[in-house]
Structures are given as C-alpha cells and as structure tokens.
Structure 1
Amino acid sequence: MPREEPTAAHPAADPAAGTAAADTTAETAAETANTTAADTAADGRSAPHRANWWRMLGRDRAAAVAAVVLSLVVLVALFGRLVIGDRAQRQDLDASLRPPSLGDGVYGLFGTDVLGRSVLARLVDAAATTLSVAVPAVLCSLLIGSALGLWAGYHGGRRESLALRVADVILSFPSLLIAVVVLYVFSPSALNLVLILAVARIPVYLRTARAEAAELRSRLFVDAARTFGTPSRHIIHRHILPIALPTLLTVATLDFCFVMLTESSLSFLGIGIQPPDVSWGLMVAQGRQYLQTAWWITVLPGLAIVFTTVSATVLAAWVRMATDPAQRWRLTLPTKRRGASAAVPPELIP
C-alpha cells in the first residue's frame, strides 16, 4: 500500500497559521527596532550632554582654571606622599633657611625651613592632612544636615519646629569658639577636629534643605505621589532630593572653604593639627616668626590656602549655574555677554 508522506505546514495551506506567524514576526521586528532606537537615542542624549558640560566648562576660563587647580590639589593630596616618602620630615641643619632656588634640586624649589626640611615636600604632605580634615567634616555635616532638613521640611509641624530649634541652639555659639573650647578640654587631634567642625556646620545644611523641602512639598508632582500612596521616604528620596541636591552641593563647596580656613586658623592657634603632622595652617604658624628673614615658609602655604579656597568658590558658582536649567543658557554665551545685557535667553529676544 502507498506510504503516506508527511505534510509540511505551509502558510499557503493554513491561512490562519500564516497570518499568526506574520503578525508574530512583525511584532518581534517592531520591538527590536524600538529597542534599538531607544538605545541609540539614549546614547545620543548622554554623549552630547557630557560633551556640552565639557564645552561649557571650556568656555568659562575662570571655572576651567579653578577646576584644574582643584584637580591638582586633589591629586597631590592622594598620591603626593607616595612620591615624597619621608622628605617632609627629613632634617638637614646645614641647609637651614635656604631660599627658593633651582640649584638644590626639585625639593629645594620652594626653599627650606629652620630645620632644613623641604618646604615643597611639607606642602605636599600638608595638602593631604588639610583635605583629610576638611572633606570628611563637610561630608558628615552635608549628610546629617540634609537628611534632617529634608525630613523636617517635608513633614512640617512639630518636627520642623524641633529641627529648627536645634539648629538655632548650635548657631547661637560661634563655631570657632566651640572648637577652641572643646579642643582645649579634649586632646587636639584630627578626629576631634573633624567631629567638631561637622557638628558646627550641620545647621547650614539643615536650614537649606528644610527650605527646599518646605517649598517643594506643595508641588503637584508631590501631591500626586502622595495621592497614590507613595511612602514619605520614597517621595523625599525620589522627588525632593534630586531637585534640592544642586543647591546643597553648591553650599557644600562653599562650606569646604570655610572649614578649611577654620582648620587652618585652629592649627595657627596651636590647637588644631599637632606635630609631627603638618597642615597648611600649621606651616603658617610655624613660620610667622621668620616672616622677615624667610618669607617663603609662611607665604607659600598661605598662597596654597588662598588658591584652593578661591578655586572652590569659583567652581561652586559655575556648578550652581550649570545645574540650574533656568540659568544654564548663560554658560553657552561668550564671557563678555554674561552680564546684565544677557538677562533673557537669546531665543526670547525679538
């Protein structure tokens, strides 16, 4: 008897199956095309965005120079001690108070102090010490103050009043006076200095974050999130914090200058960083009695403090403008047109 041959499923033999296969193929192709287009669009948006930031920074010469100076200070603080070794503590009484010169090698470029130690090596060592105090103090006060301020500003009521009263109590005492009293009672050390400066600067971030949260809690997008049952912590983290973060970071950059100057002042008074450690403020204090005969011992670390603080201030102003959508367009203009004549965006000028 004849053998039955298997029948192949062909779209022409089964119209319904052919239509379903065609639809499935079309949907798969559409999803693939949409995914590819979305990835391409995302890459296209992120790359020009990064390029625009670098382009805006390059157009602002003052901000570019400030960024370069701060980058050099950070690199020196991170890797400088690996390069200089123990040169910051190495004494040579025969080379005492030598002026800056190129004949004594790289480490004699900025001269020596009264014990014959290289001022350049001590500047590198002091950069790490100064930043190791200023950066943790700013980060601690930023995190604690911002968290308390956002929580108090969003909930309002008694929580807001309690947070503000705590801030008023801390602000009622001058931060430098608190640091002097506490460091006199306890032993002066880098850890105590960080804790004191962090606590003294918490009210700055608490008040700033509280004002931002109190203004944003009545916005429509916050009301919508609250209506759909979103927990308060998620609303603060996802909706309020991203808007308040540029302002808080700007305040932190400016506060970094204040903290660094405070640490230098305390070290100058003899209750900050203690020998054998060295900071820029301690170098100024140790060289003040040789100011007329060996000016480089005091002037050079003082210039390091000035350049770092001024650079941080200039870069903070640039970052604040760059992160503000209403002011970012100013950075795309030439420097000469960023004054009062550029009060409105160019596209709104008739």
Structure 2
Amino acid sequence: MTATVKKEAAAEPAVKRRRHTWWQLLGKDRFAAVAAVVLGLVVLTAVLGPWLIGDRAVRQDLRASLQPPSFDHGFFGLLGTDVLGRSVLARLVEAAGTTLSVAVPAVLCSLVIGSAIGMWAGYHGGWRESLAMRVADVILSFPSLLLAVVVLYVFAPSAANIVLILAFARIPIYLRTARAESAELRTRLFVDAARTFGTKSWPTIYRHLLPIVLPTLLTVATLDFCFVMLSESSLSFLGIGIQPPDVSWGLMVAQGRQYLQTAWWIAVLPGVAIVLTTVSATILAAWARLAGDPAQRWRLTAAKRRRGAVAGVTA
C-alpha cells in the first residue's frame, strides 16, 4: 500500500501539468455533456429540420384536427396535431429555426457592440468610461421586455424588429461586464509593457485584453441567450412577436393555451422545448465559466483524481 501511495504522489505533479482539451473537460462533467448534446440537437433541428419536413408545418388537414399523439397519421403524427390538423412535430421543428434565428443574432449583436464599447471605455478610463456607464444606466433604466413591448406596438412586429430591440436592450449587460474586466486589467504589467513599446489602444485591447475577458463574456452570452429566447417567447405569447404564418415556440404556446383541457400537447410540448433549451444553456454556461477560468478549471478534474487516488490507496 505504501508503494502505491508513493507512485500516486509521484504521478500527481505530472497529472497537474497535463493540459486538458475542451472536449476532455466536457466529458468529465456529465450534466454539461448532456446539455451540450441537447443544444446540439436543437441547433441541428433548426438548421436541417426545415429541409426534411418540407411544407408539413403549414399543411392543413381538418379531418385530423386535434388528434392526440399517436402513429395513426404516420411519423409526423407522433406528437399530435393542432386545431387545423397540422403536425405539432413539424411545427416544433419549424419553430426551432425561427426562435434561434431571433435569439442568436440578438445575442451576437449585443455581445459584439457592448463588449467593444466596454473594453474601450475600461481601457481608457476617464470621461470615456463615465460616458459609457451613463449611457448603459439610461438603457438599463427601462426594463428590456417593457421597452420591446412599447417599440413593437409602435412599429410593425417582425423578426428583424425583435432582434434589433432585444439586441439594443441587452448591450449594457456586456458593456458593464467588459468595462469592469478591462478597468482591472489596464493596470497589469503586460498592458504597461504594451504601452511602453508604443502599441496603440485597439491592438492592445484585441491582443491582450480580449483573450482574458472573452471567457467571462461568453458565459454571460450563454445565460443571456436564455433570457432573449424567453423574451421572444413572451412577446409572441402576447401577440406582438412572431406573426403567422411564421411560427415560434412562444407563438405555439399562445395558440394552444385555449386548448389546454382538450389538446394539452399543442401548448405543453413547445413549452417543454423552451424549458429544455434554456436549462441546457444554463448548465453549459456554468460549465464554460469553470472551463474558461484557469483558476477554477481544477474543479472539473479534481473529482476524478480523487477517485483514482482512493482506488490506489485501497489497492
């Protein structure tokens, strides 16, 4: 037993020095791996699904109205039909693309714009930082969902308007995060060295600040993706989001709420899709925060090392 413990102690530094890839770190967290699989399936469904289902999402068959989930009407009747006899499965697939086509561009736009302004303000400080923070405070003073409701009531509700208003409302989240990280990093020695050698501000931000700030920003973006998707679903539920003949998960819930007692699958199944996607994104965001932080990454491998050490001592 003593020899085994010595071997484990000698091998431990080598294990600590070994660098794990992202795939290896993901495999060490079962919940994060399952969440990544779920999100991957949602993305594949949104990208490839419309090509596979054709026009079944809009094809009506009044003779098959409000049919419960079964194989009586083939594979596309697996999740039942709505009041017009349209396949709920096909509409879920079609709605996945619509929902992601709103949530992903909105998050990417707010991430790029807010991060760029925040790192620029945090790096320079002074009046630039004060101006950026005051603008962020003004935008945050209006609840994003309420702002979207007002704007969409004034202008025509469309996917493009939803993306623009949600992206605008979420910019302060990334601006404040990037500003706080950059303000702390601008006093580091490597930033002072870059200034000493005459490197301009934007190259310094891109080469030295962005790689350090990016993991935190991506974690915030993953969590913000859940909020944006729920906001789009809420707007569609209120009738000022995605408009027919387009379909989204939130619109499916809104259209099926009056049939909850007779045809629950019309509203419940899209709600389950929303919950699964948001929970998976939240779990993956927590994993990405640990995997992207060198100071916290050891938590993903500590449990496995401990199990191996205990097994060696027992032997």
Letter of the 1:68 counterpart:
V
How far did 1:53 drift? Answer: 2.5
Select 1:91's aligned residue among 60, 73, 80.
Answer: 60
How far did 1:105 drift? Answer: 1.3
User: Separation in 2 of the partners of 1:137 and 1:228?
Assistant: 38
Give secondary structure in 2 for the equivalent of 1:334.
helix
Does 1:202 find its partner at 2:171? yes
Tell me which residue corresponds to 1:268: 237
Select 2:32's aligned residue among 46, 55, 63.
Answer: 63
Select 2:186's aligned residue among 217, 228, 236.
Answer: 217
How far did 1:333 drift? Answer: 2.8
Map residues 168-207 of structure 1 onto 2, 5 A cutoff: 168-207=137-176
Tell me which residue corresponds to 1:147: 116
Tell me which residue corresponds to 1:112: 81
How far did 1:260 drift? Answer: 0.1
User: Separation in 2 of the partners of 1:282 and 1:241?
Assistant: 38
How far did 1:336 drift? Answer: 11
User: Separation in 1 of the partners of 2:24 and 2:169?
Assistant: 38
Sort the Cα spacing of 1:337 and 1:316 in 2 relative to 1 into closer, same or farther, 3 A. Answer: farther
The structure with higher relative contact order (CA 8 Å, sep 6+) is 2
User: Separation in 2 of the partners of 1:108 and 1:328?
Assistant: 45
Tell me which residue corresponds to 2:269: 300
Ranges in structure 2 where 5+ consecutive residues have no aligned partner: 1-16, 308-315
Letter of the 1:63 counterpart:
A
Map residues 189-338 of structure 1 onto 2, 5 A cutoff: 189-334=158-303
Scaled by the length of structure 2, the TM-score of the pair is 0.90
User: Separation in 2 of the partners of 1:144 and 1:334?
Assistant: 39
Letter of the 2:59 counterpart:
R
- CA root-mean-square deviation: 1.7
Q: Looking at CA atoms only, which structure, 1 or 2, has the larger radius of gyration?
A: 1
Sort the Cα spacing of 1:336 and 1:272 in 2 relative to 1 into closer, same or farther, 3 A. Answer: farther
- C-alpha offsets along residues 275-316 of structure 1, whole Å, 9 cap, x if unaligned? 000000000000000001100000000000000000000001
User: Separation in 2 of the partners of 1:333 and 1:50?
Assistant: 14
Does 1:76 find its partner at 2:42? no
Sort the Cα spacing of 1:62 and 1:336 in 2 relative to 1 into closer, same or farther, 3 A. Answer: farther
* Comparing 326-335 and 244-253, the one that deviates more: 326-335
- C-alpha offsets along residues 186-232 of structure 1, whole Å, 9 cap, x if unaligned? 00000000000000000000000000100000001001111111111
Give secondary structure in 2 for the equivalent of 1:101.
coil
Contact 1:149 1:207 in 2 (8 A): yes
Sort the Cα spacing of 1:65 and 1:185 in 2 relative to 1 into closer, same or farther, 3 A. Answer: same
Sort the Cα spacing of 1:280 and 1:49 in 2 relative to 1 into closer, same or farther, 3 A. Answer: farther
User: Separation in 2 of the partners of 1:249 and 1:241?
Assistant: 11
How far did 1:330 drift? Answer: 1.1
Contact 1:102 1:108 in 2 (8 A): yes
Give secondary structure in 2 for the equivalent of 1:110.
coil
Tell me which residue corresponds to 1:24: none
User: Separation in 2 of the partners of 1:127 and 1:117?
Assistant: 16
User: Separation in 2 of the partners of 1:138 and 1:49?
Assistant: 34
The percent of aligned pairs where both chains have the same amino acid is: 80
Letter of the 2:201 counterpart:
S
Scaled by the length of structure 1, the TM-score of the pair is 0.81
Does 1:54 find its partner at 2:23? yes
User: Separation in 2 of the partners of 1:308 and 1:336?
Assistant: 31
- C-alpha offsets along residues 235-284 of structure 1, whole Å, 9 cap, x if unaligned? 10100011000000000000000000000000000000000000000000
Give secondary structure in 2 for the equivalent of 1:221.
helix
Give secondary structure in 2 for the equivalent of 1:333.
helix
Contact 1:176 1:262 in 2 (8 A): yes
Contact 1:59 1:334 in 2 (8 A): no
User: Separation in 2 of the partners of 1:300 and 1:53?
Assistant: 33
Give secondary structure in 1 for the equivalent of 2:56.
coil
How far did 1:51 drift? Answer: 6.3
User: Separation in 2 of the partners of 1:50 and 1:122?
Assistant: 44
Map residues 11-50 of structure 1 onto 2, 5 A cutoff: none
How far did 1:59 drift? Answer: 2.0
Ranges in structure 1 where 5+ consecutive residues have no aligned partner: 1-47, 339-350
